[in-house]
Chain A
């Protein structure tokens, strides 16, 4: 359990946030460069001091300036993976991973066994004797994650863990990282500028804009009720998981999800993919559409979100299979007679659906 309220001024920039996450959860903080994501992580890690606020992890209070509490970084049960990993260049991979164990007095032999096990878990078992400079970016990233997680931290801080990787490696690592995080006991705070990573990794997503959290919620919540144009554009997308089962000559591939099959713009890859459909791509019809939409799903209106983030468009949550959120105009709502429980057809073109590996 993480509870943190933090305020920090630095020149004209001010960070002012409150965060909460239950044990085992991944909290993604998503925002653009300069929004204060790294500042936030450094405060949680104890590398910088907040002007005001409080950090509690479980029963332990790490920081509470008002009460005179400031636990130094090395006394906090945390781990922090920075954007560039900061692997110690003079130590071998195994020594890097064992470092956190040795630093808390665990005997060399035990530390070594646990380090090797952590490397094996991350699929880089053979690299123990190498130096960081001899590794590829993806290997360095796995070693950094092994070094961070081997100590069983109560709070794992990840700063853009995928951004330093080339796109091919990033795709491969995304899935691995997701299952790694799902298996961790403590709280993970994951900061990223990537909306896709936010939706893939976040049990809870916090959107940070200019030092403030403008919206915090589960992914579905942000999808249905984006409270700002920024959130609607970046995060308010339908996200589905499936695998490519076939492809047509016309650049269209078919992806089977747990709830149905979608026609998508051919991602050029096979196997498991993430599929995103922007709510604006979805058109609602009272009758089966006869147009060019390759994807048509029928289902009841579950909810019509009354407060649009911008303009006159409203979000309509549908009980289709798979469940979808569409964004339509108020006029469409009126002319289709949409209200909760009314059955509609949702149609969208394959070209409006993006698949990522």
Chain B
């Protein structure tokens, strides 16, 4: 190899490693600081404090409820997006994706305007004697709003990736679309669907902006872990750090778990002869 090319190759390697290292350090430093700030013994004591436990329990309950709701509504939506063509599909896709990039505070304002006393849905619910804002249900709704795109996009991609010939085979074996979905499509897309649910749960667990706008900050009722961190930051830094560490560990575990669980699917292989393309 000519010297110029060799120098270039070495510089390229150094550049790639340096850039990656810089990004890793920038992201890792705050995380490491959180972990190193509180000694493990004290961490445990802070978490065992009643206020912390209350926030933790509320976060777990609401995020699980939100994930279940998103799964129940998002799976049919993903099926529709993956399998069917219909007018206005692009617009539907954008609407379902939008909360992913929308600032959560904007989501919170929107939810408040919709479900607040004077809102479109709020007025109807008010007539029934129901009020959603500043309740635990509002926490769940805020989480559903911001976290649903993670599920819908992962599940749609997963269903789309299932080879069309399996759906065709199911149909010719007398499987109705619903039966084919349950027995063939969903099992084959399950890794993606579960990954989407896990991402949704992690996002719901970390939800802050929409929650504080729409549900407020009521300990035991709407004060989830991220809100408790924010409040603790102003009053009791050590507790805030302890709660942050919990959130950090949960998020890390979810992402690592997804990577470890992802195995390439086993698909029977048969030699294809010169196929009839039509």
Please name the residue on chain A nearest to B269 by beta carbon.
Answer: A133
Q: Is the CB of B175 within 8 A of A131?
A: no
- Cβ of B76 < 8 Å from any Cβ of A? no
With the chains together, A99 CA to B174 CA distance in Å? Answer: 9
Q: Which single member of B177, B267, B271 contacts A133 (CB below 8 Å)?
A: B267
Q: Among the listed stretches B32-40, B108-116, B161-169, B218-226, which one makes contact with chain A, having 4 or more residues with CB under 8 Å of it?
A: B161-169
Q: Would B169 and A80 count as touching, CB distance under 8 A? A: yes
* B268/A39 in contact, CB under 8 A: no
Cβ–Cβ contact A103 & B170, under 8 A: yes
Taken together as a complex, chains A and B put the C-alpha atoms of A76 and B172 apart, in Å, by 8
CB distance A47 to B173 under 8 Å? no
Which of chain A's residues have a CB closer than 8 A to the CB of B176?
A: 74, 103
> Chain B, interface size: which category?
20 to 34
Q: A159 vs B275: C-alpha distance in the bound complex, in angstroms?
A: 10
* Chain B positions within 8 Å of A80 at CB level: 168-169, 172
Do residues A79 and B172 form an inter-chain contact, with CB atoms below 8 A?
yes
- Chain A residue with the shortest CB-CB distance to B175: A103
- Does A38 reach chain B (CB closer than 8 Å)? yes
Contact B270 A39 (CB under 8 A): no
Indicate if the CB atoms of A72 and B171 lie closer than 8 Å.
yes
* B265 close to A (CB within 8 Å): yes
A191-B276 Cα distance, complex, nearest whole Å = 10
Stretch of B1-9, B138-146, B181-189 with 4 or more beta carbons under 8 angstroms from chain A: B181-189
B272 sits at the interface (CB 8 A): yes
Contact of A103 among B174, B267, B272 (CB under 8 A): B174
Given A84-B270, A87-B268, A88-B169; A100-B174 close (CB under 8 Å): yes
Q: Determine the distance from Cα of A15 to Cα of B278 in the docked complex, in whole angstroms.
A: 10
**Residues of chain B in range 56-93 having any CB-CB distance to chain A below 8 Å:** none
B168 contacts across to A, CB distance below 8 A: 45, 47, 73, 80, 82, 86
A78 to B176, CA, bound (A): 14
A175 part of interface (Cβ distance < 8 Å): no
Report the minimum CB–CB distance from B269 to chain A (whole Å). Answer: 7
Determine the residue in chain A with the shortest Cβ distance to B270: A164
Q: Does A83 sit at the interface, judged by CB under 8 A?
A: yes
Tally of contact residues, A, Cβ under 8 A: 51
Q: Are B172 and A47 in contact (CB under 8 A)?
A: yes
Verify B187–A133 contact, CB threshold 8 A: no
B127 within 8 A of A: no
Interface residue? A13 (CB, 8 A): yes
Alpha-carbon separation in the docked complex, A45 to B184 (Å): 19
A166 touches which of B175, B187, B271 (Cβ 8 Å)? B271
Closest approach, in angstroms, between the C-beta of A108 and any C-beta of chain B?
13
In the complex, chain B residues 176-208 whose Cβ is within 8 Å of any chain A Cβ: 176-177, 179-180, 183-184, 187-188
Q: Does A260 contact B (CB under 8 A)?
A: no
The verdict on B22 contacting chain A, using a C-beta distance below 8 Å, is no
What residues of chain A lie closer than 8 Å to B174, measured between beta carbons?
74-75, 100, 103-104, 151
A223-259 interface code vs B (CB 8 A; 1 in, 0 out): 0000000000000000000000000000000000000
B266 touches A131 (CB 8 A): yes
Residues in chain B near residue A219, CB distance under 8 A: none
| Cross-chain contact of B169 among A86, A151, A193 (Cβ < 8 A) | A86
A89 touches B175 (CB 8 A): no
Q: Report the Cα distance A342→B99, complex, angstroms.
A: 89
Interface residues of A in 130-178 (CB under 8 A from B): 131-133, 135, 137, 140, 147, 151, 157, 159-160, 163-164, 166
Residue A186 interfacial (CB < 8 Å): no
The chain B residue sitting closest to A72, CB to CB, is: B171
- At the interface with chain B, which of A29-37, A57-65, A199-207, A270-278? A29-37
Contact A164 B276 (CB under 8 A): no
Q: Say whether B267 contacts A163, CB under 8 Å.
A: no
In the bound complex, residues from chain A placing their C-beta under 8 Å from that of B272 are 83-84, 164
Determine if B277 is an interface residue (Cβ-Cβ < 8 Å).
yes
A164 to B273, CA, bound (A): 6
Is A85 an interface position by the 8 A CB rule? yes
Q: Which residues of A contact B260 (CB under 8 A)?
A: none
CA distance A83 to B271 in the complex (A): 10
User: Taking the complex as formed, is B49 at the interface, i.e. its CB lies under 8 A from any CB of chain A?
Assistant: no
Q: Which residues of B contact A39 (CB under 8 A)?
A: 278
User: Is B24 in the interface zone, CB < 8 Å from A?
Assistant: no
Q: Are A79 and B269 in contact (CB under 8 A)?
A: no
**Which residues in B have their C-beta under 8 angstroms from that of A75?**
174
Specify which chain B residues have a CB less than 8 angstroms from the CB of A104 in the assembled complex: 174
A75 closest partner in B (C-beta):
B174
Instruction: Determine if B274 is an interface residue (Cβ-Cβ < 8 Å).
Output: yes
A-B contacts, 30 of them at CB < 8 A, read A33-B275, A33-B276, A34-B278, A36-B278, A38-B276, A38-B278, A46-B172, A72-B171, A74-B171, A74-B177, A75-B174, A76-B172, A80-B168, A80-B169, A82-B168, A82-B169, A85-B270, A86-B168, A88-B166, A89-B268, A90-B188, A99-B170, A103-B170, A103-B176, A140-B268, A140-B270, A147-B173, A157-B172, A164-B270, A191-B276
Q: Rank and list the top 9 A-B pairs by shortest CB-CB distance, nearest first.
A: A100-B173, A163-B273, A132-B268, A73-B171, A80-B172, A86-B169, A103-B175, A38-B276, A86-B165
Known: A45-B171, A89-B265, A163-B273. 10 other contacts (CB 8 A): A82-B168, A83-B272, A83-B273, A87-B268, A88-B166, A89-B268, A99-B173, A103-B174, A103-B176, A137-B271
B interface residue numbers (CB < 8 A to A):
163, 165-166, 168-177, 179-180, 183-184, 187-188, 265-278
